[in-house]
């Protein structure tokens, strides 16, 4: 027996801890955060959690900067550390920092932060009323947030399908919970949470099924291994096609592409607004990172097969997004459909299948992320006695009452519409030109058409805010604390800067280069 053990040594996992330092920092902080929930006294908990969250996110950014230029596979080749991964992770971390500022906001709602005092209390019940009256608030949102961010860091860096699936679950499960934590309109929030969970589980199953198919074909989960198997076996691959389609369902669900988008408006509307902002930006970045990696690294060899599929998905995503957005009467639902349409635009970068495609997708994600965070921050400021005033009719004449806030929102809307001198123009230009270079001119024509339609509903809100008479008893704009103010300032600054002086970030995205396999 002894001899046998000696003959078959258990291989030491090849794991360079320094190369996955950002992941370690965030997951470590998440674990500590759980302990803080358990052991730190209630009065000091929030402060400790905030210090922990911001310190760990900033430390992770610093660790990421230290890794700049690294190109290697680590952790038994299950995690790739390459330019695109680092860029995506950096984007996620910076957006998460701004998102955390919104989550930390406590002075907008007179009752406290945006989250339910006790998630398990019955909505509208006696317990909830008492807790609210006592000024109770929970900090469990922070460990969930950190786990989620950790999953988002791993998702675009996963180099095999199994790690990717684990990352997908790590980022999704906390999100399902976070979506259900709203302090106001709790039933809507819980409904959103449940729907998101059910449909998310459904899509995860698709992803897993696709993974199984590809494993069946290639005999490996590794993205590079699948690519090798594909290049070695060009003929018979019915398993591959099934696998590609099912894997795509899982990923397209996360980026909210049509027809896997229907959860988006309901969840965006129901979730607490800071969580919606976080979800609409960071999840999109992480999911597009993973989509790009799977499609480019593992399935690059069969791109002639999947490109037409993504062409069609991109076209219907853009069209459905912009067309349905027109008829929306709720600002959060409108932003949800707008985010669906933007997912379609970003898909243009994916179908380019080129280095420019990667760079433009990453630029778009960063630019869109900061504008979106800012837009949702503004949404959280416009309130009436029952909470956020999200019905569009309540926004009439906002520009007359609060010109600064309406002006900031206008800037974000212009960026969404892709008007020059905002980040939206630069990013649209980048993905459009990458897609044209990649031979997808018909899709770009549809995209331009969709941009025109989208300009209509963005402009409609601007007109509503500035040229309509304010409603009687209309909502008021709450003066936020430094958290939201800082988040708004960052959003405005990035949106303008990337519109006026996009070159540094474009250069950075181009330097990120291609995926490692």
How would you label 179-204 residue by residue, b for 16+ Cβ within 10 Å and e otherwise?
Answer: bbbbbbbbebbbbbbebbbebbeebb
3-state secondary structure of 440: coil
Q: Of 147 and 288, which CB lies nearer to other proteins in the complex structure?
A: 288
DSSP designation for 383: E
In the complex, what is the shortest distance from the CB of residue 268 to other proteins, in angstroms, rounded to a whole number? 12
In the complex, what is the shortest distance from the CB of residue 261 to other proteins, in angstroms, rounded to a whole number? 9
Q: Cα(52)–Cα(33) distance, rounded to whole angstroms?
A: 7
Q: Of 68 and 327, which CB lies nearer to other proteins in the complex structure?
A: 327
Interface positions with other proteins (CB under 8 A): 194-195, 198-199, 202-203, 206, 241-242, 244-246, 248-249, 252-253, 258-260, 262-263, 265-266, 304-306, 308-309, 312-313, 320, 323-324, 326-327, 453, 456, 502-503, 506
In the complex, what is the shortest distance from the CB of residue 110 to other proteins, in angstroms, rounded to a whole number? 30
Q: Of 197 and 221, which CB lies nearer to other proteins in the complex structure?
A: 197
In the complex, what is the shortest distance from the CB of residue 180 to other proteins, in angstroms, rounded to a whole number? 14
In the complex, what is the shortest distance from the CB of residue 312 to other proteins, in angstroms, rounded to a whole number? 6
- In terms of Cβ atoms closer than 10 Å to its own Cβ (0-12, 13-18, 19+), residue 253 is buried
In the complex, what is the shortest distance from the CB of residue 336 to other proteins, in angstroms, rounded to a whole number? 10
Q: Of 80 and 506, which CB lies nearer to other proteins in the complex structure?
A: 506
Helix ranges restricted to H, 155-185: 161-179
Please name the residues in contact with 396: beta carbons below 8 A apart, sequence gap of 6 or more: 464, 465, 468, 469, 470, 471, 474
Q: Which two tokens stand for residue 405?
A: 């806030």
Q: Which two tokens stand for residue 508?
A: 């950075």
Please name the residues in contact with 512: beta carbons below 8 A apart, sequence gap of 6 or more: 82, 83, 84, 86, 87, 358, 359, 362
Element (H, E) at 222: none
In the complex, what is the shortest distance from the CB of residue 238 to other proteins, in angstroms, rounded to a whole number? 8
Q: Of 166 and 453, which CB lies nearer to other proteins in the complex structure?
A: 453
Q: Hey, which bits of 389-496 come out as E strands? A: 476-477
Q: Which two tokens stand for residue 308?
A: 């037409």
In the complex, what is the shortest distance from the CB of residue 249 to other proteins, in angstroms, rounded to a whole number? 5
Q: Of 30 and 322, which CB lies nearer to other proteins in the complex structure?
A: 322
In the complex, what is the shortest distance from the CB of residue 458 to other proteins, in angstroms, rounded to a whole number? 14
Q: Of 456 and 467, which CB lies nearer to other proteins in the complex structure?
A: 456
Q: Cα(326)–Cα(202) distance, rounded to whole angstroms?
A: 29
Cα 187 from chain centre = 24
Q: Of 323 and 462, which CB lies nearer to other proteins in the complex structure?
A: 323
Q: Of 475 and 502, which CB lies nearer to other proteins in the complex structure?
A: 502
Q: Cα(475)–Cα(401) distance, rounded to whole angstroms?
A: 10
In the complex, what is the shortest distance from the CB of residue 187 to other proteins, in angstroms, rounded to a whole number? 13
DSSP designation for 271: S
To the nearest 10°, report the CA torsion of 77, 80, 82, 84. 150
Q: CA angle, 89 as apex, 56 and 512 as ends, to 5°?
A: 135
In the complex, what is the shortest distance from the CB of residue 178 to other proteins, in angstroms, rounded to a whole number? 18
Q: Of 88 and 443, which CB lies nearer to other proteins in the complex structure?
A: 443
Q: Of 17 and 500, which CB lies nearer to other proteins in the complex structure?
A: 500
Length of the chain in residues, anyone? 517
Query: In the beta sheet, which residues pair with residue 73?
Result: 80
């Amino acid at each position: 027996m002894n001899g046998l053990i000696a003959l078959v040594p258990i291989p030491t996992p090849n794991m360079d801890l320094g190369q996955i330092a950002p992941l370690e920092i965030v997951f470590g902080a998440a674990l500590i955060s759980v302990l803080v929930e358990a052991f730190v006294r209630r009065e000091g908990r929030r402060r400790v959690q905030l210090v922990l969250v911001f310190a760990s996110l900033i430390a992770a950014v610093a660790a990421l900067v230290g890794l700049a230029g690294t190109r290697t596979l680590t952790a038994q080749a299950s995690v790739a550390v390459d330019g695109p991964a680092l860029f995506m992770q950096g984007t996620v971390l910076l957006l998460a920092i701004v998102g955390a500022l919104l989550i930390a906001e406590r002075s907008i709602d007179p009752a406290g932060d945006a989250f339910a005092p006790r998630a398990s209390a019955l909505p509208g019940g006696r317990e909830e009323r008492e807790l609210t009256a006592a000024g109770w608030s929970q900090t469990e949102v922070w460990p969930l947030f950190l786990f989620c961010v950790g999953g988002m860091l791993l998702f675009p860096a996963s180099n095999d399908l199994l790690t990717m699936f684990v990352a997908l679950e790590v980022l999704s499960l906390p999100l399902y919970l976070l979506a259900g934590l709203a302090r106001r309109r709790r039933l809507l929030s819980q409904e959103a949470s449940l729907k998101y969970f059910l449909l998310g589980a459904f899509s995860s199953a698709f992803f897993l099924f696709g993974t199984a198919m590809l494993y069946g074909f290639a005999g490996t989960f590794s993205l590079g291994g699948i690519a090798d198997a594909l290049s070695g076996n060009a003929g018979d691959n019915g398993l591959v096609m099934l696998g590609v389609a099912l894997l795509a369902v899982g990923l397209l669900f996360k980026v909210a592409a049509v027809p896997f988008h229907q959860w988006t408006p309901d969840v965006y509307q129901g979730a607490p607004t800071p969580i919606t902002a976080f979800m609409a930006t960071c999840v999109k970045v992480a999911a597009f990172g993973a989509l790009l990696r799977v499609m480019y690294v593992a399935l690059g060899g069969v791109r002639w097969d999947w490109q037409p599929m993504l062409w069609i998905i991109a076209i219907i995503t853009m069209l459905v997004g912009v067309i349905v957005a027109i008829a929306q009467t709720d600002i959060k639902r409108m932003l949800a459909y707008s985010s669906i349409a933007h997912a379609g635009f970003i898909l243009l970068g994916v179908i380019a299948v080129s280095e420019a495609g990667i760079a433009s997708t990453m630029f778009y994600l960063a630019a869109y992320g900061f504008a979106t965070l800012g837009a949702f921050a503004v949404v959280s400021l416009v309130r009436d006695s029952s909470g956020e005033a999200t019905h569009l009719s309540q926004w009439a004449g906002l520009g007359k009452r609060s010109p600064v806030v309406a002006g900031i929102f206008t800037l974000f809307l212009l960026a969404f519409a892709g008007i020059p001198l905002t980040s939206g123009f630069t990013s649209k230009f980048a993905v459009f030109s990458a897609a044209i270079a990649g031979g997808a001119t018909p899709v770009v024509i549809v995209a331009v058409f969709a941009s025109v339609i989208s300009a209509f509903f963005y402009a409609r809100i601007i007109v509503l805010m500035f040229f309509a008479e304010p409603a009687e008893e209309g909502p008021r704009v709450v003066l936020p604390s430094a958290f939201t103010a800082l988040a708004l300032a960052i959003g405005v600054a990035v949106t303008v800067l990337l519109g006026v002086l996009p070159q540094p970030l474009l250069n950075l995205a181009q330097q990120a280069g291609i995926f490692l396999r």
